[in-house]
């Protein structure tokens, strides 16, 4: 997620909001990726006609009606994201990243 987050950053994660509503485009979320690997990604806007295509999902949904989201890393060239493993079902989203508290020099909200 560089440059937004770098190795060693410590963040506060809201674990409750995404239980009540779907993530909004642009929000940074913690999710369980393929093989339950913890990942931090940004929720993308839905693709529009002519946009890039994504592979079929590798993470199974719990039901046919469960929404799934496109998640992308901020560092496009070096990111494992929906371009590699497809859409992520809502049950895999663990929480919203809200605030960086360490290092103190980079203290602030995550946007």
Neighbours of 97 (CB within 10 A): 23
Q: For 1-111, where are the E strands, in sequence order?
A: 10-14, 28-32, 38-43, 68-69, 71-72, 88-89, 93-102, 108-109
Domain boundaries, the chain: 10-45+55-109
pLDDT of residue 51: 61
Tens of pLDDT, residues 39-86:
999 999 876 555 677 888 899 999 999 999 999 999 888 889 999 999
| 111 vs 8: which has the higher pLDDT | 8
Please tell me the CATH code under which domain 10-45+55-109 is placed: 2.10.109.10
Q: Categorize the per-residue pLDDT at 1 as very low, low, confident or very high, splitting at 50, 70 and 90.
A: confident
28 has a pLDDT exceeding 80: yes
pLDDT of residue 12: 96
| Distance from the Cα of residue 39 to its chain's centroid | 7
pLDDT of residue 45: 86
Q: Which residue has the tokens 């060693």?
A: 8
pLDDT of residue 65: 93
Q: How many residues does the chain have?
A: 111
């Amino acid at each position: 997620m560089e440059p937004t987050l770098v190795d060693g950053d410590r963040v506060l994660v809201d674990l409750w909001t995404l239980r009540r509503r779907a993530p909004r485009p642009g929000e940074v979320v913690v999710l369980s990726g393929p093989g339950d690997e913890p990942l931090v990604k940004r929720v993308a806007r839905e693709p529009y006609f002519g946009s890039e295509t994504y592979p079929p999902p590798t993470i199974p949904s719990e039901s046919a009606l469960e929404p799934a989201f496109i998640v992308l890393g901020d560092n496009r060239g070096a990111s494992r994201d929906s371009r590699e493993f497809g859409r992520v079902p809502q049950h895999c989203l663990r929480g919203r990243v809200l605030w960086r508290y360490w290092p103190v020099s980079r203290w602030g909200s995550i946007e």
